[in-house]
Amino acid sequence: MPASSLLIIGSMAFDDLDLPSGEFRDVVGGSATYSAFAASHFTEPRVVAVVGEDFPEPTLGELARRGVDVSGIERARGKTFRWWGRYAKDLVSRTTLDTQLNVFADFKPKLPQSFTQSPYVLLGNIHPALQLEVLAQVKSPRLVAADTMNFWISGERALLGEVLKKIDLLIINDEELRELAGIHNLRRAARAVLGMGPKRLVVKRGEFGALYFDADESCFVPAYPLEDEVDPTGAGDSFAGALLGYLAQRGVLDRAAMRQALHTASTVASFCVEAVGTKRLAALDHATVRTRMSELRALVHPGD
């Protein structure tokens, strides 16, 4: 396993979750947290993020035990970023009830010297200005991916355009794709967004799986059909983390590797949904991932 070849930047947070199964408070979450746990199955990711004085030390210890380099996680004075969301009964639509930036408000990501040589980079859903600051510090990366941009699409369009020109792989959901392109048809929208900079595009569609597009081909991976859906928070971040973690481990970016990475990412993300927070994701072992991945592959087998 190549040590620490993937750099992850994103949020670490407390989430208050109003789920159909109950109300959960102070759940440790954030895009960097989910992505790092997911990626840790394949490589030893380096995380750049900020937490407050209230963030639990055991979570950092758990990440470190899974091989995550936590030396780039800054502990700042004040409170950790906090998000409060309420999910509909079907777990598909959700409403943000409150967001408190806290220590994230003044975050200036500064990469440790050892992090600046990271061939794989995952930019989580943070302000595009911060994404650009991080990218400026990384020396000739091999694959830069950015994940999910929701409200930056309307609010920071110019800066987002800069980011799109500097990344190789964009991972967004179908509604974001449509909004970014201003086109409803997915295939046409994908082509338009590929024209904005990224050479590769992954379109996440929640329970309906994900589509991949580049100049030469497209492919599709389903979501694993779960019997027990509990909490979809972080599933997209887990998908992105596993995708980049797998690619960093493989060290190749050809068609076969990309398809296998997508199946891996869909598999890992499915576990995330089975429990509140990162619980299931953090306790996963390789055999369990491999078994479900076989089931996912069997699901799409064309029959000959």
Q: Which is nearer to a copy of itself, 23 or 228 (CB)?
A: 228
Contact (CB, 8 A) for 30 and 241: no
> Min. distance of Cβ 42 from a copy of itself in angstroms?
16
Asked if 99 is part of the footprint of a copy of itself (rule: CB under 8 A), the reply reads: no
Of 121, 160, 258, 268, the one binding a copy of itself by CB under 8 A? 258
Report the site for a copy of itself in 224-253 (rule: CB under 8 A): 225-229
**CB-wise, 26 or 207, nearer to a copy of itself?**
207
CA dist 12 and 202 (Å) reads 23
Using CB under 8 A, which of 78, 109, 222, 232 touches a copy of itself? 222
88 binds a copy of itself per the rule CB under 8 A: no
Residues 263-292 that bind a copy of itself (CB under 8 A): 263
Does 218 interact with a copy of itself (rule: CB under 8 A)? Answer: yes
* Residue with smaller CB distance to a copy of itself, 114 or 218: 218
Least Å distance between CB 260 and a copy of itself?
4
Residues near 163 by beta carbon (within 8 Å), at least 6 away in sequence: 123, 128, 131, 132, 135, 146
Which residues between 160 and 189 bind a copy of itself (CB under 8 A)?
184-188
The answer to whether 300 contacts a copy of itself (rule: CB under 8 A) is yes
Pick between residue 67 and residue 206 the one whose CB is nearest to a copy of itself.
206
84 vs 220, which CB is nearer to a copy of itself?
A: 220
Q: How far is the CB of 263 from a copy of itself (least distance, A)?
A: 5
Task: Give the binding site for a copy of itself (CB under 8 A).
Answer: 89-90, 184-188, 205, 208-209, 211, 217-222, 225-229, 255-260, 263, 297-304
